[in-house]
Chains A and B, each alone.
Chain A
């Protein structure tokens, strides 16, 4: 850890003084500060803007996110910690901060027309979205139990309110209530686990926890606490069997919010889990690795099997998103403290998967929202013959679905391949076989949608009108996926440099 040099000079400072006057590296906090400022600005501006012009919250938010992205770029190459070592800037943190910003921008593009079309809570929505995104940005840097917990709650709580934004709709309310109950419960379990960790190790900083565990060995209390923490996160990332809230919540929530939940919120959970497992608990990996293997296999298999039967595109994406999480979970099942090379491979595969997944999943959501915007629905049966109505939209959606299925010529193929490779490298062959079979199952339902769009005759002929903003978002997403397919180091190099 780079902390050593920084902290060593401060060991003599009394704790009370350090808490009262924490040393703050403001540049390191710049992305968070810009984003938080933008969120506040949006909230305040919304109060003073006339009813017809509430949409300005969206360009304001976009400017805020672009500012955040600029701050992230300005930090590139920097490796430092601040806030007493609980907040770290490294390539890993910057990669995910950048990814959250990109996700935020795409979500804004999806949201703009959806919320502008007679929706009353635009300002609130953008404020909440930025807040939740801020949680993700903080999460990327959090290296301490307390800040991890705060970050994950900062992601979840605005997301719950966003889910309930369609107040008049009972389904939206139901979705939010479910989400709320599961979220609170999982937070409680997680917090309980974290408090046990603190009790056993006396530390909240992850590196301190690791060195303390290294001394004490496989203390049962540690194993138990890891179990609780993992269960808490499993709810957040909707891993089977803790996934029940997700499809209902996605379906009931406003669709852009569903897109947000299935990408930003889920990736936030994964970032926290990655940091915890690879930085705090790798030395007791023998105890929790098998649990992750089972979790991964269950998550992809059950997610895929249920997705096979879905008639509603958002539910399909929800279940397929659950299955996709399974592939990321595989990385956790491969951790081997004695082999840094295996660890690197596993870790990099998770990063690559998350980055590619975010882009292709958002693309698919964008296409679904675009389709449903004017009189369309979310039912897959209505996609019949879309190719003859709106060729561009159909090709885009097909490209994203093919990418999700993991077939060339889209980057999704690499996402799967890297996880595969990591599993083989760690010699966990049965998981590789499970992944392979799941890829075939998944191809079936993704192709079912493609089949409807391309091979069937349309019932209505009018083209689907897609706003320029969404076209741009989908086009860029598809371009990135195609470019990364041709030259995968675009993403794998970034991931490679982000390994800690």
Chain B
């Protein structure tokens, strides 16, 4: 097993990059071959991630495991330091799974203008960036992976996107680049402050420094990560990017990319600057609740199905941030659970929105109707995913919200109980609003009469084989997560307890 311990994490990150390079040398005319090779590499990556799952010692999930720490750039003290612990393992697996499913989904349909080879290569390149961000334990390494996702997503939106794709792609790129500049400044300040000039996240843990220094650096990290999450008021890139991106782009963006921001808080900002985290927690909590309520209200106003799901992401990620801001065991466990659940559910919803667009050639909610009647299986899956999204107990969406609210009932040491109780009420109102718009959406899309222009039903088929293959794992995991939350919480709780020990 030692081979697995040394290499599994690295393979799970770089195999997709190798795949992307291999794809470049395949003839683009042989689309079938390209798809096969692309999926094989994504599948191999998933296997590597599963090998990590097997080799992981769940008794010590608060420790970094399967770690590698090699010299990389000695001049600045950056190392190739990677590994997984309870905080990152669920996300790494989620990322590998969703990427693989996306490549399967692409077998059925490569959106206009085609070019399967380039699209597969970009998905794989993106996967390297995302997986790498989850395993990196060195700030420079993390930053490079964090930035690496920009380029493939930019091309994905810009080439295969909707009518306003150019605007959305550029906005996405510049907005997040702007955020990362602050992130980088923060990282470099930490490096300078550390004395030993190290970028190692573990060595920098609880690194001290004056109060002013901590707060300024935390502010930098906050801006960088908050743009990625995105939190209100940094969210404006998200609806455009999501709406214009092709289906797999939206899925990857929602399921994984947004998590880089929240994961950054948990992995970097909180443990390295715990005192500043306590100072900033009320602000984060307030912005989180604004995100929840604002996101939900915006959903009521949307006419485009994809845009609606995009705004619902703002709200759901608000719950994740609310959980983090409580600085409690419950809250942060709930946040990680919420990240995974949101990845499964919203990823699923974007798949559905894409498939619906393929069938009806519109995403206007007002133009749709009677889906359940016309294609019952599809309609049922849609209802299932939407209900999971609104947080029905028994499905995965429930635990993240519940734990976040529970955490804010009794926030961590040093935080104002009154404020967080108010935030809890705000979050509670948010859950009601969420239920409201999602039920309303189900009603408008699934129920009612089939509009006349679709009544003939030409080309409108029910869920087909490849879609089942791509979706089944998500659908199953949503219900498993709902009934057996320990699947995730069992992995995270030790690591979270370790983290929470730093506050107060």
Binding site for B on A (CB under 8 A): 348, 387-388, 391, 402, 407-409, 413, 417-418, 420-421, 424-425, 427, 429, 432-433, 436-437, 439-440, 443-444, 447, 451, 454-456, 487-489, 492-493, 495-496
- Complex contact A492–B75 (CB within 8 A): yes
Closest CB of chain B to A135's CB: distance in Å?
A: 30
In the complex formed, the residue of B with least CB distance to A344 is B75
- Contacts A348-B75, A455-B165: A408 and B148 contacting too (C-beta < 8 A)? yes
Inter-chain contact A439/B74, CB cutoff 8 Å: no
Docked-complex contact B173 and A413, CB < 8 angstroms: no
CB contact between B174 and one of A388, A440, A455 (< 8 Å): that residue? A440
Residue of chain A at shortest CB distance from B160: A455
Chain A's closest residue to B21 (CB) is: A482
Distance in Å: Cβ of A249 to nearest Cβ of chain B? 31
CA of A429 to CA of B76 in the docked complex: distance in angstroms? 18
Overall SS of chain A's interface: helix
* Distance of A456 Cα from B159 Cα, bound (Å): 8
Q: 12 A-B contacts, Cβ less than 8 Å apart?
A: A391-B118, A407-B151, A409-B148, A413-B144, A420-B188, A421-B191, A432-B188, A436-B184, A436-B185, A444-B170, A454-B158, A493-B74
Residues of A within 8 A of B466 (CB): none
- Whether the pair B75, A496 counts as a contact (CB closer than 8 A) is yes
In the A-B complex, list the 4 residue pairs whose CB atoms are closest, starting with the nearest. Answer: A436-B181, A424-B188, A408-B148, A455-B158
Q: Is B82 an interface residue (CB 8 A)?
A: no
A451 x B169 contact (CB < 8 A)? yes
B147 part of interface (Cβ distance < 8 Å): yes
Q: Is B378 an interface residue when CB atoms closer than 8 A count as contact?
A: no
Instruction: Give CA–CA (A300, B188) in the complex, Å.
Output: 21
Chain B residues numbered 170-185 whose CB sits less than 8 Å from any CB in chain A: 170, 173-174, 177-178, 181-182, 184-185
Q: Which residue of A lies closest to B113 (CB)?
A: A388
CB distance from A308 to the nearest CB of B (A): 12
CB contacts (< 8 Å) of B74 on chain A: these are 489, 493
Indicate which residue in B73, B129, B191 contacts A489 across the interface (CB closer than 8 Å): B73
Shortest CB–CB separation between residue A394 and chain B, in angstroms? 10
**Is B173 a contact partner of A447 (Cβ separation < 8 A)?**
yes
Of B118, B174, B192, the contact of A443 (CB 8 Å cutoff) = B174
The proximity string for B residues 126-147 relative to A, scoring 1 for CB distances below 8 Å and 0 otherwise, is 0001000000000010001001
B155 CB-CB contact with A under 8 Å: yes
CB distance from A11 to the nearest CB of B (A): 38
Q: Which residue of B lies closest to A448 (CB)?
A: B170
Among B155, B178, B182, B188, contact of A454 (Cβ-Cβ < 8 Å): B155
Contact A424 B192 (CB under 8 A): yes
B120 contacts A by Cβ under 8 Å: no
Taken together as a complex, chains A and B put the C-alpha atoms of A420 and B177 apart, in Å, by: 15
Rounded to whole Å, the gap between the CB of B121 and the closest CB of chain A is 10
CA distance A418 to B75 in the complex (A): 10
* Across-interface contacts of B439 in A (CB, < 8 A): none
Which residues of chain A are within 8 angstroms of B177 by Cβ–Cβ distance? 407, 439-440, 443
Chain B interface size, as a band, is 35 or more
Q: List B68-107 residues whose CB lies under 8 Å from chain A.
A: 72-76
Question: Which residues of B are at the interface with A, using a C-beta cutoff of 8 A?
Answer: 28, 72-76, 113, 118, 125, 129, 140, 144, 147-148, 150-151, 154-155, 158-159, 165-166, 169-170, 173-174, 177-178, 181-182, 184-185, 188-189, 191-192
Please state if A492 and B73 are interface contacts (CB–CB under 8 Å): yes
Interface centre among A437, A444, A455 (most CB of B within 10 A): A455
**Nearest Cβ in chain B — how far from A301, in angstroms?**
15
Q: Are B147 and A451 in contact (CB under 8 A)?
A: no
Q: Which residues of A contact B192 (CB under 8 A)?
A: 424-425, 427
Q: A436 contacts which chain B residues (CB < 8 A)?
A: 181-182, 184-185
The minimal Cβ–Cβ distance linking B128 to chain A, given in whole angstroms, is 9
- Given known contacts A424-B189, A444-B174, A447-B154, A455 and B184 CB-to-CB distance under 8 angstroms: no
Contact, CB under 8 Å: B188 / A409: no
Which residues of A are found within 8 Å of B178, using beta-carbon distances? 440
**B residues in contact with A433, CB < 8 Å:** 185
Specify which chain A residues have a CB less than 8 angstroms from the CB of B181 in the assembled complex.
436-437, 439-440
CA distance in complex: A455, B189 (Å): 38
CA distance A387 to B169 in the complex (A): 17
Across the two chains, which residue of chain A brings its CB closest to B165?
A455
Contacts of A437 in B (CB 8 A): 181
8 additional contacts (CB under 8 A) given A408-B147, A417-B140, A418-B76: A407-B151, A408-B150, A436-B181, A436-B184, A443-B173, A451-B158, A492-B76, A493-B74
B71 — nearest CB in chain A belongs to which residue?
A489
Bound together, the chains give a CA A417 to CA B73 distance in angstroms of 12
Closest residue to B182 on the A side, CB-wise? Answer: A436
Q: Is the CB of A451 within 8 A of B166?
A: yes
A427 vs B189: C-alpha distance in the bound complex, in angstroms?
9
Q: Is the CB of A488 within 8 A of B174?
A: no
Chain A residues, Cβ within 8 Å of B144: 408, 413
Contacts of B129 in A (CB 8 A): 408
CA A94 – CA B191 in complex, angstroms? 32
CB distance from A18 to the nearest CB of B (A): 40
Complexed CA–CA distance, A460 and B182 (Å): 42
Pick the residue among A427, A429, A439, A454 that contacts B159 (CB under 8 A): A454
Task: Decide: A420 and B73 in contact? CB cutoff 8 A.
Answer: no
What's the least CB distance linking A344 to chain B, in Å?
A: 9
The residues of A that contact B185 with a CB separation of less than 8 Å are 420, 424, 429, 432-433, 436
Q: How many whole Å from A389's CB to the nearest CB in chain B?
A: 13
CB-nearest residue of chain A to B148: A408
Name the CB-closest residue of B to A496: B75
Cα(A391)–Cα(B121), bound, Å: 14
Within the complex, the shortest CB–CB distance from A476 to chain B, in Å, comes to 16
Q: Are A488 and B73 in contact (CB under 8 A)?
A: yes
Assembled-state Cα–Cα distance A437/B118 (Å) = 31
CA distance A348 to B182 in the complex (A): 24
Contacts of B184 in A (CB 8 A): 417, 420, 436
In the bound assembly, the distance between CA atoms of A429 and B169 in angstroms comes to 30
- Which chain A residue has the least Cβ–Cβ distance from B181? A436
> Using Cβ atoms and an 8 Å threshold, which residues of chain B touch A496?
75
Q: How far is the CA of A424 from the CA of B147 in the complex (A)?
A: 20
Least CB separation from A455: chain B residue: B158
Closest to A429 in B: B185
| B483 vs chain A, min Cβ distance (A) | 41
Specify which chain B residues have a CB less than 8 angstroms from the CB of A417 in the assembled complex: 140, 184
Q: Which of B75, B125, B174, B182 has the most CB of A within 10 A?
A: B75
In the complex, the chain A residue whose C-beta lies closest to that of B143 is: A417
Asked whether, in the complex, the Cβ of A408 is within 8 Å of the Cβ of B151, the reply is: yes
Contact for A409 among B72, B118, B125, CB less than 8 A: B125
From known contacts A437-B181, A451-B170, infer whether A421 and B147 are also in contact, taking CB-CB under 8 Å: no
In the complex with contacts A439-B181, A489-B74, A496-B75, A407-B158 CB distance below 8 A: no
In the complex, which residues of chain B have a beta carbon less than 8 angstroms from the beta carbon of A451? 158, 166, 169-170
| Chain A nearest CB, measured from B495 CB (Å) | 28
B73 touches A402 (CB 8 A): no
Of all chain B residues, the one with the shortest Cβ separation from A409 is: B148
**Bound Cα distance A417, B184 (Å):** 9
A421-B169 CB under 8 A given contacts A427-B192, A455-B159? no
Report chain A residues within 8 Å CB of B189. Answer: 424
